[in-house]
Amino acid sequence: MFQPFLPFLVPPCRRPPSFDYAAVFSWLRSSLPARAGLAVILIAILALASSLSAGLIAWFSQGDAAAINTAGSVRMETYHLSWKLAAGAPADEIDSITQSLQGRLDSQSLKAVLEDGPRSALLQSYQQIQQRWHDDLRPALARGDAALFQASAPGFVEQLNQFVSLLQQQSEHKQGWQQGIQGLALFSTLIILLIGLYELQYGVVNPLQELVQATRRFRDGDFKTRVNHRSEDELGQLALSFNTMAETIEASHRTLESQVRLKTLNLQQANAALELLYQSSRSLATRLANAEGLDELIRRFQKRLPGLRLSLCLQGHFLAPAQQMLALHGGDSRNVCAIGDCATCQKHKVAPPQVFSISNQGSELGELKAHFIDGHAPQDWEKQLIQALANLIGTSLSLKRQREQDHRLLLLDERTIIARELHDSLAQALSYMKLQVSRMQTLIRRGEPVETLATVTAELRDGLNNAYRQLRELLTTFRLQIHDAGLVQELQDTAEEFSRRGEFQVHLHVDALAFQLSASEQIHLLQITREALSNCLRHAHAQNAWLQLRQEGETVSLCIEDDGRGFCGDVDQREHHGLTIMDERARSLHGQLDIGPREPQGTRVQLRFHPEFLGQPLQGTHA
């Protein structure tokens, strides 16, 4: 009735866990230390087995020598008994030898070497020796039958020799086992060593040499080098890691090379763009901003960017725009078209052009239209380059208009100066002569004497001579210009000219200025110098004159001195109208003109002004 509960009482049968050889083999393949350790363990086991076998065989063979000696002594005792019997030895001596021989046959050294088992050849030989002793020799000795003993002794000795031979064979068999075990252990050790050397050479040395060579080639810049060693052990993992690292570095190197090439290309494009802009600005600076110059600029620009086509559309003045525009295409053709009607140019056939405004300081001067022949849109750097060209053209056109305006202002200023000088010099002289003519007419109507008329005539002659001299001076002044040699050379030429014309020597001293004077400033300085030296020539009666041009901080100083008679009393403005002209020129330079006596004698004319190049004078600036 307890049968239903038997499954709960009887434990279930479980399989013993099986040994996973595949896992051990995989572990050995994936670990160099494991394989090396296994080889060391196997060699140690073989050495230990060889030592243990040698010890055991030596322990089992330790009684063989004693047994052989004992068997030899039994044989000698047999010969001894035979000799004693033949010699008629006493019975007690025969008994003593018999007991000794019996003790030797029954000794433990002989029994110790007998193998287990009734069919052992050695045991059977021993039993035959005992049987012959007890059946033949011992009874013969007991009866004192020497003849029977001597007849049986050779067979007994022969059995002893056979027993000894079996003992030797047994000992040699043990030694053979020992030699076989040791030879097998040695052979196994050699096999393990050979396998280990093979594994060391092909599993460690060759992969390491390949890794070293790969690292050297990699260090020399060969980023495509790879390690061909493939295994599951640590060197295989190292080779795989090296190849992964090499691929990563090669990819990074290729990325860097591509980035460098891209940067180089960008730099080349930037350099080409800068060179193009430089050439464009140089062309605009050296050429007039007219249709021919702008056509040449567009042509050169299109040559630097193959496939680019430009059309420059210019309009009139921004304050009064024209109804038509001038279109330049960088070639031999030009178009005049209405504003907003670009179809008449027939230059944009592929895609609508991109329009770049040409302006300067808020003034619209025209448009620059760009497109490529193949229809692709310009890149960003190309757009920036074209826009820079448009800005250059706008700046050039604006500068051209500014130069024209400055030229007009310069003409107006020069005409004003001419008119003022004519008014202050020649006009006053002519007015004076007109008064003298009116006076002479009045004297003639009154019937004045000839002496009075002669005086008026002399005054008229002096007035005409003075007017003629002033006219020549004005002509000389108007023809005055600064050559390429500069202001210093002009001052030197002026000093030499007046030294030749007059009876005085002009001493010149000019400081090298730290900046360049404008053309207007140079003309005014030269005019004041000539006027002062002219006054010295006509009125001073000097022996020496000193002309100095110096820089005192941010101020330019011009000083003309002489050692003549100086000013005497009031100055007649009709004869010294040049002083007024000099003062007008000093005011044009925003400077100060001082005219006074020189110690100990003579006249001193000094001009100080702030040059236009330095702009407004700064506070705290010292000479």
How buried is residue 20: exposed, middle or buried, by Cβ count under 10 Å (0-12/13-18/19+)?
Answer: exposed
Alpha carbons 142 and 91: distance in angstroms, whole number: 10
Q: Which of 109-123, 129-143, 215-229, 356-370 has the lowest mean pLDDT?
A: 109-123
Residue 83 in contact with residue 162, Cβ under 8 Å? no
pLDDT of residue 5: 40
Residue 605 in contact with residue 532, Cβ under 8 Å? yes
Residue 168 in contact with residue 76, Cβ under 8 Å? no
Pairing status of strand 505-510 against strand 363-372: unpaired
- Check pLDDT > 90 for residue 559: yes
CATH architecture observed for domain 483-618: 2-Layer Sandwich (3.30)
Residue 600 preceded by cis peptide, ω within 30: yes
Measured between alpha carbons, how far is residue 87 from residues 83, 94, 101, 229, 390 in Å? 6, 11, 18, 92, 155
Which token pair is 2? 């307890």
pLDDT of residue 353: 82
* 20: helix, strand or coil: coil
Q: Which CATH class is domain 25-222?
A: mainly alpha
How buried is residue 541: exposed, middle or buried, by Cβ count under 10 Å (0-12/13-18/19+)?
Answer: middle
More confident residue, 574 or 240: 240
Half-sphere exposure of 547 (CA within 13 A, CB side): 26
pLDDT of residue 545: 92
Alpha carbons 167 and 14: distance in angstroms, whole number: 54
Domain boundaries, the chain: 25-222, 269-401, 483-618
Q: What 3 state SS string does 437-494 have?
A: HHHHHHHHHHCCCHHHHHHHHHHHHHHHHHHHHHHHHHHHHHCCCCCCCCHHHHHHHH
- Supply the CATH classification number for the domain 269-401: 3.30.450.40
pLDDT in tens, 304-333: 777 888 888 877 655 545 555 677 776 666
Reported confidence tier of residue 465, pLDDT bands at 50, 70, 90: confident
Residue 64 in contact with residue 114, Cβ under 8 Å? no
Percent of the chain with pLDDT over 70: 81
Bridge partner list, 549: 510, 558
Query: What letter would DSSP give residue 312?
Result: E
Those residues whose C-beta lies under 8 Å from the C-beta of residue 539, and which sit 6 or more positions away, are: 564, 565
- Check pLDDT > 50 for residue 335: yes
pLDDT in tens, 347-364: 445 567 888 888 777 677
pLDDT in tens, 265-303: 878 877 877 777 787 777 766 666 677 777 777 888 787
The pTM (predicted TM-score) of the whole model is 0.43
Alpha carbons 143 and 76: distance in angstroms, whole number: 22
Alpha carbons 123 and 60: distance in angstroms, whole number: 17
